[in-house]
Structure 1
Amino acid sequence: MKILDSLGLRSLRKSLTKSINNVLSFFSFNPNEGLKEHNNKKTPSKNKIKSVHLTKSHPTTTRLGRIQSELKAFLKSPPPHIRVTVGSNLSQWIIHLTFPPTTAYPNETYKLKITFPSDYPTSPPSCYFLKPTPAHEHVYTNGDICLSLLGSDWRPTMSAETLAVSIMSMLSSAGEKSRPMDNSAHAAAKPGGRQDNWVYHDDSC
């Protein structure tokens, strides 16, 4: 009788242990962290978020519709040595510029942050280099770019791709690495501000 009772207790103990383990596995139990409810939701990857930007319909006459159209065109036929990534916010792009070996920045890659304002394309996007910034006579160490297309020469028919290609061309034509003569006076400024009242370094700036 004692043997039967012992066997019964063992069987019951195994059954209880298995049930408890099943419950703990459902809640992803960790002794150091306590109980956590199992979460099947996955954080969207950048590619999936980008897919949303391409598939969600925005009227072409709206600001978001215009930005979406530009993104589609950019991805369909990207300019040489230039690529774009977009996170969860369609109004903010990161553009990667990788320079050919024949330039002053051989095989170096720099990132532009582009933010589209609420009145885009009437006003130009905010555009500046993320750090580290390239050493160029029209690029301040805070990331701001002395480029008239970001101010007085901007036209609503232009695009973010227009800016990226212009900046790529400007840096590719540099004979040497340098900084603006007034860099020290501007270096501490917050980058990406409007350039309505800027005095540009030269006509091609």
Structure 2
Amino acid sequence: MSSIASKRLAKELREVHTSGCPVGITLVQADDFEKWLFSIEVMGESLYKGQSFLLQFRFDPQYPISAPAVQFVVDNTRKAPVHPHIYSNGHICASILGNEWSPVLSVTAVCVTMQSMLASCKSLELPEDNDRYVRHAPENPKKTRFMYHDDTV
């Protein structure tokens, strides 16, 4: 990990430990500066009421210049949220994780954005190309060139 990335991640982790996370967001694991896990629960009335999801962040040495690889954890006990911008393998089609990433964004800001994206969802449906994408998707969602054409969901 580069010095810049380590300093930035140490600062963000310190802020999480001292100030806490926003309501509905809980740090689950941050043992190193390579992978962090957060639990995300949508607050208030939503299609996801009572559900929580595990969000994984993987950092490369170029963080925060480069966006982290962010995805919902999918395993034997967890599924990704059913959402028009979230694939069943947990990959997320969101411009802030791609071409609209900015180094001023933080891990907690991304968590809040994901929480808000879920809260504003109007229909529980997968992306149109889910099956094809999941069959051919790279392990790292950052290696996908998503088309950001619908920000109304």
Structure-2 separation of matches of 1:96 and 1:191? 21
Q: Deviations over 1:107-139 (max 9, x none)?
A: 101001101111111100000001111100000
User: Contact 1:143/1:191 (CA < 8 Å) preserved in 2?
Assistant: no
TM-score (norm 2): 0.86
The answer for the alignment partner of 2:94 in structure 1 is: 147
Structure 1: state its 5+ residue gaps: 1-60
Structure-1 separation of matches of 2:105 and 2:143? 16
Say whether 1:72 aligns with 2:14.
yes
Query: How much identity, in percent, do the aligned residues show?
Result: 28
Structure-1 separation of matches of 2:4 and 2:50? 38
Structure-2 separation of matches of 1:100 and 1:203? 21
Structure-1 separation of matches of 2:85 and 2:97? 13
User: Contact 2:71/2:141 (CA < 8 Å) preserved in 1?
Assistant: no
**Aligned CA-pair RMSD:** 1.8
The answer for the alignment partner of 1:106 in structure 2 is: 49
User: Taking structure 1 as reference, are residues 203 and 109 closer, same or farther at Cα in structure 2, changes over 3 Å only?
Assistant: closer
Larger radius of gyration: 1
Structure-2 separation of matches of 1:85 and 1:71? 12
1:180 partner amino acid: P
1:108 partner amino acid: Q
Structure 2: state its 5+ residue gaps: none
TM-score (norm 1): 0.65
User: Contact 1:152/1:196 (CA < 8 Å) preserved in 2?
Assistant: no
User: Contact 1:116/1:125 (CA < 8 Å) preserved in 2?
Assistant: yes
User: Contact 1:146/1:201 (CA < 8 Å) preserved in 2?
Assistant: no
Name the structure with the higher helix share.
1
1:168 is paired with a residue whose SS is helix
Deviation for aligned residue 1:175: 1.8
The answer for the alignment partner of 2:134 in structure 1 is: 187
2:147 partner amino acid: V
Structure-2 separation of matches of 1:191 and 1:172? 27
The answer for the alignment partner of 2:40 in structure 1 is: 97
Deviation for aligned residue 1:171: 0.5
Deviation for aligned residue 1:203: 4.1
How many residues were matched structurally? 145
